Amino acid sequence: MQVHSFEKVWLGAALLLIVGFIATVTYGTAGAGVKMVDDSGGEIDPEAVKSGDTGTGFDDPGVVRQNDSHYVVYVVAQQFQFVPGSGDNPIRIPADTRVTFRVTSADVMHGFSITETNINTMVIPGQVADITAKFDEPGTYGLVCHEYCGAGHHAMGGSVEVVPKSEYEYNGTEVQN
């Protein structure tokens, strides 16, 4: 079979494009560390969340120290606040430390998004959203509910204070695991 040289050039260019697309998709999924929020956080009874009777960290939500390099933050989203996070109760965590946010809802669907980061999940009643992150830059970050959850949705927000690791004071209970 005779393939004209002009046609060969186009075949080569098309092949290069396909390989390029596969490479970018592969990089986007594996290389850049992009991970979808999945159901690995498990299920929870939203009624028990509301009454503080889950037998988990959601009954007294806040920051729980696992060890020097890992903290877990339990957050309950409800109409129309994050506990902790909203009002004069910001989430305080150390910088340069692995932090796992465990977020659930006591009523309807909410959103949990921390500005200037890629931390962003829906908060579905009955489900626990698990997101692990590390903040390189100390500072105050905004916390936003980005799912319409009722009349006060537009006012549902809060803040996350990331403190330099050396200045962070933890005054909760220690958890060994």
Chain residues that interact with ligand CUA, rule: CB under 6 A: 80, 110, 145, 147-149, 153, 156
Helix (H, G, I), strand (E, B) or coil at 146: coil
CB of 117 to ligand CUA, least distance (A): 18
- For ligand CUA, the closer of residues 142 and 172 by Cβ is 142
**At its nearest, how many Å lie between ligand CUA and the CB of residue 168?**
28
137: left (phi over 0), alpha (psi -120 to 50) or beta: beta
* C-alpha 78, offset from chain centre: 17
| Greatest Cα-to-Cα distance within the chain, rounded to the nearest angstrom | 78
- What residues contact 56, with CB distance under 8 A and at least 6 apart? 44, 74
Q: How far apart are CA 83 and CA 103, in angstroms?
A: 10
CB of 145 to ligand CUA, least distance (A): 3
Q: Which is nearer to ligand CUA, 91 or 149 (CB)?
A: 149
Task: Give 95 or 114: the residue with its C-beta nearer to ligand CUA.
Answer: 114
Q: Point out which residues pair with 127 in neighbouring strands.
A: 43
CB of 143 to ligand CUA, least distance (A): 11
CB 103 to ligand CUA: min, Å: 11
Is the Cβ of residue 63 or residue 145 nearer to ligand CUA in the bound state? 145
- Cβ distance to ligand CUA smaller for residue 34 or 155: 155
Distance separating alpha carbons of residues 148 and 153, to the nearest angstrom:
6
Neighbours of 25 (CB within 10 A): 10
